[in-house]
Amino acid sequence: MTPGAIRRWSWVHKWSSLVCTLFMLVLCITGLPLIFSHEIDHLTGDEVEMPRLPAGTPHVSLDRVVRAAEIHHPGLVPLYLFAGDDEPDLWLAKMDTRVDTDERLARFAYVDARSAEILGEPNFGEGFMSVMYRLHVDLYAGLPGKLFLGAMGLLLLVALVSGVVLYAPFMRKLRFGTVRNQRSHAHWLDLHNLIGIVTLVWALVVGFTGVINTWADLILQAWQRDQVAVLQSGGAQTLLAPDSRVAAPADGSLQAAVDRVLAAAPGMKADMIAFPGTLRATPDHFAVMLHGDTPLTSRMTRAVLVDAHSGEVLEAAGRPWYVTAFMISEPLHFGDYGGLPMKILWALLDVLTIIVLTSGLVLWWRKRAKSPAEAIDAEPQT
């Protein structure tokens, strides 16, 4: 590589790194507790305490679950039911004054799927983990904050790629793993290069998936528009006709609607149910989000619509590639695929990345006042 090319790549690496480093440090620091969010909730007692019932106790009708939430929040109507992430016997009901609200003042209730007993309400927006989550996701700035962090993530990817380009000429005359033992610019440069190249693949994966996650709202809105457009054009695929052997909903019965969806999509489980009129459904259909039962397919959501009166089950449009990328990227970003061992690995790599970012700042600061001898020592070895 010519000296001119090295200077150009060095300029790209320096400024892409400097612009995004502070925000990347915030994301890495707040991301550490989020990796262990389930474990922290368990230790702090923030998890829902499930009553002890005999193993295999069957679930009550979903209509009873909804009715219990309505009694708990009188005057409110159901918007969504969410299945518990790690608790198959739990539903989270989201309620509001009407189905077409902006949902900012919605109320919630945990409902035992086996008894329809109300188990409490989540404290969303409160506590340490909520602060960490908001800082990590949008800096308390909503969608603009998410898009801003996405832009910082793109700069991180540029910094990583440019760092790889510069790695060979800077390290040509040094053995891999060398860290010179003096408190100098060269020491910090060696440390920065070594940890950076060791964590490179992880940083690329987490950085790229993080960028995709910041586009989540736009991705899901685009998918919903596609689904509605296909439905309105009459191009939706019928998965289960009204005259099938599975009973049609009676008076808008939620349980009958979900039974028909599961009959049309064997091997799947209901992850989220949206009521007619909400943002994720249509005025005449329940929307049921389904997922598989393996570590990978559990993250692959499939959206199915069921007519609240006739029971016709429709799939408006197949899942596009960008939605698949988003659904895979979210758990991969936080290391949710491999249980606690993978979370520990993710946390260690996160700490190493914090060291890389910090050493980069130290390099920039020390270079402003380094001696001529250090300047020569730190030049690329071409």
Taking residues 141-169, what's their average pLDDT? 92
Cα distance between residue 130 and residue 68, in whole Å: 27
Is the pLDDT at 125 greater than 90? The verdict is no
> In the predicted model, what is the mean pLDDT of the chain?
83
Higher pLDDT: 243 or 98? It is 98
pLDDT tens digit string along 18-38? Answer: 999 999 999 999 999 999 988
Q: How confident is the model at residue 113 (pLDDT cuts 50, 70, 90)?
A: very high
47-54 own/partner pairs: CB under 8 Å, 24+ apart: 48/84, 48/87, 48/90, 48/110, 48/119, 48/120, 49/119, 50/87, 50/89, 50/90, 50/112, 50/119, 51/112, 51/115, 51/117, 51/119, 53/114, 53/115
Q: What is the reported pTM?
A: 0.75
Is the pLDDT at 90 greater than 80? The verdict is yes
Q: What is the pLDDT of residue 209?
A: 93
Q: How confident is the model at residue 244 (pLDDT cuts 50, 70, 90)?
A: low
